[in-house]
RNA sequence: GGCCCGUUGGUCAAGAGGUUAAGACACGGCCCUUUCACGGCUGUAACGUGGGUUCAAUUCCCGCACGGGUCACCA
């Protein structure tokens, strides 16, 4: 018999009068971009309504357990500042927060459903239960419900014989079910199109379909945020809530994040996960900001705003701004966001995040990392762009004299040689090797020679760096290189140009 | 295939029964400049389609096309 006292005690634990949302990933070992967005929206709904954000681990599929996967989830949420108020690691009033630790509880609620006549034991093997209808090569499963017609005597007999069974939801054969979704509105389906889905598997563990309903209710979840792939199961969940007599939460079904017009982002196709994006040189804040806008847009007077801190998102977020159609992930736009975030960092912060990448390319300890970082900050879109820009510091590349020819700067090989011939003695004689001194000295020289600044700067920069494109101009590069190295390189330039 | 959902420039998207149909990214051009970049200015580019309803439809309704989701003892 159902244990009424137990149910009453469970009901008594449920916090009332607050918005409660939950992020409920199954531990797969990495965070999809789509998952991250769901977590973000779920967190935002809670925070924007002064509510509670809960983390629940859905690990009922024993075949797919991944070692250490829960840690990835904790770590990602923490890195993204999506802090949870309740969860396996922090506890809370309605735990445990890991489904396998709630195992016994699902059985009790399934028993309750059995007694209410809203579920039944099914002794069919997986194969027997399959009523596969092949149309156009598509397999369609729908259980025919034969075990729902077993007599009590037959059930007792099979139970006594120790036959394994699952518990299935008993769906009405007629009528329709309507549910409401905050994004999609009212959706109505024929009950006859709904399958008598399995609630409790033969291993005794609940399916997702059952566990999420029971847990969402027992945890007092007010807004159920999940991917739109659950839209077609929602009517069955409604029926379950109704059978229990529970209040139906607000559903928020989010459309997927796509890699292109027809495929979801997926690890299998080589699409980046959150961890991958970090490894590719993107900043967490930029990823969050970009992902927030993939499928949600601000309305009203801030409709044009694109850059949002997490706090600003909390203030601006509303469920009504979530879009119904899938959004294609555009790495180019993420890059743009990332570039903006890199530039918004203080020089010290930027230097801190950039240093490892600078050191990949620049090993010479004589070169000032902070000074290099300062050049880079406005010139890279992601941190992994950095090393390739700095190759010339440690070793002057073998370059083509044609680099000295630049129409816009009005230089060619002969002019460049003249410029270097004038610049070398000047730099040699400079009293102090400061950026100001180099700059002023060269500018005065250009004035004295009656040439455009660029006419002098171009060959100096080419000789110093040996490449066409450099982070920063001649002055900055010479200063970082130091006087000796600069002069050594300019003399190499003179030699090259003299041939 | 059944059921459900969606469809504004290449991408993210705002928008409302009457607008020159925003903005951002990308792309092109120009300016600035000590290269590249940054910054500034500017340009190309969109309401899937056929029927209704209406004085008026991209906006509302229906069909179609296309795309997605789902139809597991996976979540």
Residue pLDDT, tens place only, A328-358: 999 999 999 999 999 999 999 999 999 999 9
List residues bridging with A186 in a β-sheet.
A180
Q: How far is CA A100 from CA A15, A110, A171, A206, in A?
A: 22, 16, 26, 9
Phi, psi for residue A225 in degrees, rounded to 5: -105, 130
CB A342 within 8 A of CB A350: yes
Nearest to A114 by CA among A147, A143, A141, A144: A147
Q: A252: helix, coil or strand?
A: strand
Low-confidence residues of chain A: pLDDT under 50: none
The three-point CA angle A235-A236-A237 to 5° equals: 90
Q: Which nucleotide is nearest to A138 (CA to C1')?
A: B1
At residue A209, the pLDDT reads 95
Q: What is the DSSP letter of A117?
A: T
Q: How far is CA A153 from CA A124, A149, A156, A192, A323, in A?
A: 17, 11, 5, 28, 53
Give me the CA A440–C1' B44 separation in Å, rounded: 44
Q: For A466, how many CA atoms within 13 A lie in the half-sphere containing its CB?
A: 20
A499 is catalytic: no
Closest residue, by C-alpha, to the C1' of B36: A469
At residue A95, the pLDDT reads 82
At residue A70, the pLDDT reads 86
Q: What is the DSSP letter of A194?
A: S
Give me the CA A475–C1' B9 separation in Å, rounded: 43
Residue A78, preceding peptide bond in cis (omega within 30° of 0): no
At residue A69, the pLDDT reads 83
Give me the CA A245–C1' B72 separation in Å, rounded: 27
At residue A249, the pLDDT reads 97
Give me the CA A209–C1' B52 separation in Å, rounded: 42
pTM of the prediction?
0.94
Q: Strand B: which bases are under 7 Å from protein Cβ?
A: 1-8, 10-15, 22-26, 33-38, 67-75
Q: Which nucleotide is nearest to A406 (CA to C1')?
A: B35
Closest residue, by C-alpha, to the C1' of B74: A61
Q: Which nucleotide is nearest to A298 (CA to C1')?
A: B14
CB A316 within 8 A of CB A47: no
CB A121 within 8 A of CB A166: yes
At residue A176, the pLDDT reads 93
Give me the CA A462–C1' B56 separation in Å, rounded: 65
Long-range contacts of A367-370 (CB under 8 A, 24+ apart): A367/A393, A367/A480, A367/A481, A368/A480
Annotated active-site residue in A108, A116, A236, A267: A267
Q: Which nucleotide is nearest to A475 (CA to C1')?
A: B34
Helix (H) or strand (E) holding A167: strand A166-169
Q: How far is CA A284 from CA A17, A291, A466, in A?
A: 33, 10, 35
CB A219 within 8 A of CB A93: no
At residue A304, the pLDDT reads 85
Q: Which nucleotide is nearest to A296 (CA to C1')?
A: B13
At residue A128, the pLDDT reads 72
Give me the CA A94–C1' B51 separation in Å, rounded: 56
- Which ipTM score applies to this complex? 0.94
Closest residue, by C-alpha, to the C1' of B10: A330
At residue A137, the pLDDT reads 60
- Spatial neighbors of A18 by CB under 8 A, at least 6 apart, are A50, A51, A52, A220, A222
Q: For A51, how many CA atoms within 13 A lie in the half-sphere containing its CB?
A: 22
User: In this structure, what token pair is assigned to residue A492?
Assistant: 């190499």
Which ranges of A15-64 does DSSP label H, i.e. alpha helix?
Answer: 33-48
């Amino acid at each position: 018999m159902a244990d009424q006292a137990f149910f009453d005690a469970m009901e008594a634990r449920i916090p009332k009068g607050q918005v409660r949302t939950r992020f409920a990933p199954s531990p797969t070992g990495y965070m999809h971009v789509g998952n991250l967005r769901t977590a973000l929206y779920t967190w935002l709904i809670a925070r924007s309504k002064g509510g509670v954000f809960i983390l629940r681990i859905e690990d009922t599929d024993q075949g797919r357990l991944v070692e250490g996967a829960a840690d990835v989830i904790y770590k990602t949420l923490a890195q993204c500042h999506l802090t949870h108020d309740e969860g396996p690691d922090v506890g809370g009033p309605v735990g445990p927060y890991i489904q396998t630790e709630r195992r016994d509880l699902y059985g009790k609620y399934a028993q309750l459903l059995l007694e209410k006549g809203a579920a039944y034991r099914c002794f069919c093997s997986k194969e027997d239960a399959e009523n596969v209808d092949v149309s156009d090569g598509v397999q369609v499963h729908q259980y025919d419900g034969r075990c729902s017609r077993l007599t009590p005597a037959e059930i007792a007999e099979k139970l006594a014989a120790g036959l394994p069974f699952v518990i299935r939801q008993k769906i009405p054969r007629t009528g329709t079910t309507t549910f409401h979704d905050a994004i999609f509105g009212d959706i109505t389906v024929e009950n006859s199109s709904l399958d008598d889905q399995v609630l409790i598997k033969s291993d005794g563990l609940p399916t997702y379909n059952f566990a999420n309903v029971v847990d969402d209710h027992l945890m007092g979840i007010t807004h159920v945020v999940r991917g739109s792939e659950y839209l077609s199961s929602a009517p069955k969940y409604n029926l379950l809530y109704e059978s229990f007599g529970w209040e139906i939460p607000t559903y928020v079904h989010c459309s997927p994040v796509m890699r292109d017009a027809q495929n979801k982002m997926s690890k299998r196709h080589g699409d980046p996960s959150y961890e991958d994006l970090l490894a590719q040189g993107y900043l967490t804040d930029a990823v969050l900001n970009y992902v927030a806008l993939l499928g949600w847009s601000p309305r009203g007077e801030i409709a044009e705003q694109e850059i949002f801190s997490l706090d600003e998102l909390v203030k601006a977020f509303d469920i009504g701004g979530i879009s119904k159609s899938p959004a294609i992930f555009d790495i180019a736009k993420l890059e743009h966001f990332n570039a903006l975030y890199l530039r918004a960092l203080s020089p010290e912060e930027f230097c801190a995040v950039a240093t490892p990448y600078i050191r990949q390319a620049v090993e010479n300890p004589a070169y000032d990392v902070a000074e290099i970082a300062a050049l880079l900050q406005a010139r890279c879109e992601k941190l992994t762009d950095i090393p390739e820009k700095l190759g010339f510091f440690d070793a002057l590349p073998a370059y083509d004299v044609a680099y000295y020819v630049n129409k816009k700067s009005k230089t060619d090989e002969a002019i460049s040689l003249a410029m270097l011939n004038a610049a070398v003695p000047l730099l040699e004689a400079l009293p102090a090797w400061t950026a100001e001194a180099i700059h002023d000295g060269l500018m005065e020289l250009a004035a004295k020679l009656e040439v455009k600044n660029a006419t002098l700067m171009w060959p100096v920069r080419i000789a110093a760096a040996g490449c066409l494109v450099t982070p920063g101009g001649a002055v900055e590069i010479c200063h970082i290189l130091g006087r000796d190295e600069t002069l050594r390189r300019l003399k190499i330039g003179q030699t090259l140009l003299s041939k």
